[in-house]
Amino acid sequence: MLDFPTIDESSAILNIAIEALELAVLVSIEEGDLAAFSRNISQVKMYYEIPQTNISTQKAKILGLNLMYLLIENRLSEFHAELELLSDEEARSPFITFPITLERQLMVGSYDEVLNAGSHIPDQSYNFFVENLLPTVRDSIADCLEVAYKTMSLEDARIMMKFDSLADLDEYIKEYRDDWIIDGGDLCFQPPVVGSKADDIPSRDLIKQVLSYATELERIV
């Protein structure tokens, strides 16, 4: 006659499996293996959905890390879908509020806050994902600089792009912005190429159209 495990024994086995998968998630972050992270997250989330197994003290942290992963992968629809599955208590956890705040800052272009996010992480495991956001944010800032300025000092550029040193800025320019010109202590941006996206924007026509819409809206109201 077969001896089936009791409810308590089954619950204990499931919770051991959850703990093992949670550990695997954290190890994959330590190793910088996003493929393994994705696999382990998918598995542990299935266990979280089983009744009587949601007693893990690591659950909010693991779900928060998954939100960070979706953020750096720019999978925003999945990011918001995951938020809908959280309980009110989980949504109030600092592990969850951190990626939510970060996503909002990215959406409104508050890049300065994003670049400083590393000093506010709820756990060291989040640092891996924050660091993966920084290159993207810096590229966005660089795109804005070369449109907004013709020249600026290297020190100002370093501060705006949140580099620790001029050497770090110089390395970035050599690797990603080889059309930028360093002239003494100044940085010179090449004029935009005719036909580029910036030139294609019919700014005056767009402004007139927006003002026209505003006037019509005012009349309606």
For residues 172-199, give the mean pLDDT. Answer: 77
Could you please report the per-residue DSSP string of 12-31? HHHHHHHHHHHHHHHHHHHT
The distance in angstroms from the start CA to the end CA of the chain is 80
- Domain ranges in the chain? 149-199
pLDDT at 201: 46
pLDDT for 68-79, tens place per residue?
999 988 888 999
Predicted TM-score (pTM) of this structure:
0.68
The pairs formed by 14-21 with CB atoms below 8 angstroms and a separation of 24 or more are 14/47, 14/50, 14/52, 14/53, 15/53, 15/55, 15/56, 17/47, 18/44, 18/47, 18/48, 18/53, 18/56, 19/56, 19/58, 21/47
Q: How confident is the model at residue 112 (pLDDT cuts 50, 70, 90)?
A: confident
pLDDT for 125-181, tens place per residue?
999 999 888 887 888 888 888 888 899 999 999 988 888 899 999 999 999 898 899
